[in-house]
């Protein structure tokens, strides 16, 4: 539920180029995520709408090996093919 004046009730992220944006609404323990991902060079746009708990929409990775030697500030890149 969007509450007027409550900045925590709705979050929107938009890149300056305008080809990628995301809006997130939380209500009743669920996230409502609307995404628009585009590539201006390929004239391609992908729209996505998801509803679920935080863990369902942003799952944690289960790693096989120890990461105890990793230092803060390092990045993990996860890719998927569509």
Q: In this predicted model, what pLDDT tens digit does every residue of 26-82 receive, in sequence order? A: 889 899 998 887 776 776 777 889 999 988 888 788 888 888 888 888 888 887 776
Domains identified in the chain, total number: 1
Compute the distance between CA of residue 48 and CA of residue 42 in angstroms, rounded to an integer.
Answer: 18
Q: How far is CA 14 from the centre of its chain?
A: 12
16 falls in which pLDDT band (50, 70, 90)? very low
Tell whether pTM > 0.85: no
Domain that residue 71 falls in: 1-82
């Amino acid at each position: 539920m969007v509450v007027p004046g409550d900045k925590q009730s709705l979050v929107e992220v938009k890149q300056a180029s305008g080809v990628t944006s995301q809006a997130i609404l939380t209500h009743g323990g669920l996230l409502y995520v609307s995404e628009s991902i585009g590539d201006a060079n390929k004239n391609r746009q992908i729209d996505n709408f998801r509803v679920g708990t935080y863990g369902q929409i942003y799952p944690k990775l289960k790693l096989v090996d120890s990461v105890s030697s990793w230092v803060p500030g390092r990045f993990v890149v996860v890719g998927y093919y569509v």
